[in-house]
Chain A
């Protein structure tokens, strides 16, 4: 049976690939490919973040009886990422690939240390705490 850790970690790896494609296109000054690549990455990330925020985090918070624990920090980091997404989109719209490169670098570090904490700690705690993992994964799958 698939664990929450496996399921959500695989999404991280998928988004990493999309990130690298968009970054490479922007570095090559290929604006069309960078726009398309960033759109795919952004969509993949939003999809992943909403699965966590709408299904996994609430289930975990419910099980813990608190929304002030680790998930509140994770939600805050999601917002920090979303600010960078907006800046990256604006940089691409302004055809400013060098600003995009600096923002992408910043996002990568933020995103990777965030993913690390989720994969090494939060997901594993969720796997241990949440009774019906299959149901959680099914609900995440069902999100549009």
Chain B
């Protein structure tokens, strides 16, 4: 532990996290509009071009956008590590990520190889810089705890996800000839169960006890869960290299382990929240609970798919699994965290500029009622999405409208908050 790394200062300039926060919901809107435009065709199969485009607008444009922006903000707090040149770093991550996501999403949606080709160097640049900065910070971090370990594993998974994704993009663009199916499986597995889930777990270890005043996660969980998940993902990946029947046995054993780990994380977190000392209603916790129940539902659906080949082979199964995981679990958790981070950061930056007692408190920046409306619409969109996976016509339109409305409410809440900041900062 070195003193040099420990200045305990917080915050990079507010423009660093907010460029990510304010651009992310635009991609949710775009994804919902793209779904409405494609209609039932999008949900014909998990491989439909429009759906691949829409999925990447959400995973890159919303999920990775918020996750990387939040990490630049949170690394100094959670790990005591300073991001060097934060404004410059934010530019060279955000801009190529933004443009690259538009190009990749559009390229997949319209099946336009040229757009996909253009996206490759942009996304490679954004993620390479993000990855280098995050590793640099974590390596110098004075704090070593379960969270920083889970984040390191998440970053390793991110590098694999991005590497696979770039190769696949090169395949789609016709630049490389690749065995697409196994690479897609690896890309999805490392992206969703690796990068995303490990990061959520690492963040949950800290924020669930901190903001809901729950008991801490049991030490056995924080010591083993992240590493176990990572090793199981490695084992599952190795099955692609083995001959049958060993490959089949390894795949099913590792997958069962992964599903069990994920279900255990959901159950433990829900249990801790049940034991929380802070009893007042909290919108972030409602989003978390929505996310955790969706994660459990996804794990249950996966187990059901193992029991029934007919289910596992159906289009419904693949679509519903993805929707429960991405929209139900990941988006819920991110929405909930975003409300807390946004309103706190605005308060924090304003209290430094305004006379004592003049900064608006968090609930004046994003009122509970406004966030709760978004939560209600988001919650309602989940069964509608599942219905659209079963009966694309007409439910895809209903689900698309619900997703669009949710995106609009999120965007409105975040931009109103930003406006409060701009007006108050102008007076200071």
Contacts and interface: CB of A to CB of B under 8 A. Distances in A.
Contacts of A109: 211, 340, 344, 362
Contact of A64 (B3, B211, B278): B3
Nearest to B352: A80
Contacts, number: 89
A102 B78 contact: no
B210 A27 contact: no
Contacts of B211: 108-109, 112
A99 B206 CA distance: 27
Given A20-B278, A102-B362, A117 B3 contact: no
A120 interface: yes
A69 interface: yes
Contacts of B347: 106
Interface residues of A, number: 36
A23 B278 contact: yes
A106 B213 contact: no
Chain A at the B interface: SS class: helix
Given A20-B277, A70-B6, A125-B1, A113 B77 contact: yes
Contacts of A16: 213, 277
A113 B210 contact: yes
Interface string A87-107: 100000000001101110110
Given A17-B277, A109-B340, A120-B143, A69 B363 contact: no
B80 A69 contact: no
A17 B213 CA distance: 8
A42 B427 CA distance: 32
A121 B3 contact: no
Interface size classification for chain B: 20 to 34
Given A117-B80, A125-B1, A99 B361 contact: yes
A98 B280 CA distance: 12
A99 to B, nearest CB: 7
B89 to A, nearest CB: 22
A22 B321 CA distance: 42
A10 interface: no
Contacts of B10: 73, 113
Residue among B8, B145, B278, B344 with max Cβ neighbours from chain A (10 Å): B8
A86 B281 CA distance: 24
Interface string B366-397: 00000000000000000000000000000000
A120 B280 contact: no
A101 B213 CA distance: 16
B279 interface: yes
A116 interface: yes
Interface string B340-365: 10001001100100001100011110
Contacts of B9: 73
B363 A105 contact: yes
A17 B142 CA distance: 29
Given A16-B213, A70-B7, A116-B77, A102 B363 contact: yes
Nearest to B279: A24
A117 B8 contact: yes
A16 B10 CA distance: 22
A80 B351 CA distance: 8
Given A109-B340, A116-B77, A117-B8, A102 B361 contact: yes
B145 A101 contact: no
Given A109-B211, A125-B6, A103 B277 contact: no
A69 B356 CA distance: 24
A128 B351 CA distance: 34
Contacts of A83: 351, 356-357
A120 to B, nearest CB: 4
A69 B3 contact: yes
A86 B213 CA distance: 23
B8 A120 contact: no
Interface in B306-353: 340, 344, 347-348, 351
A31 to B, nearest CB: 16
Contacts of A113: 10, 77, 210
11 contacts: A19-B213, A70-B6, A80-B351, A83-B351, A87-B357, A87-B361, A102-B361, A103-B361, A113-B210, A116-B206, A117-B8
The 6 closest A-B pairs by CB, nearest first: A102-B363, A102-B361, A112-B210, A70-B8, A73-B8, A120-B143
Interface of B: 1, 3, 6-10, 77-78, 80, 142-143, 145, 206, 210-211, 213, 277-281, 340, 344, 347-348, 351, 356-357, 361-364
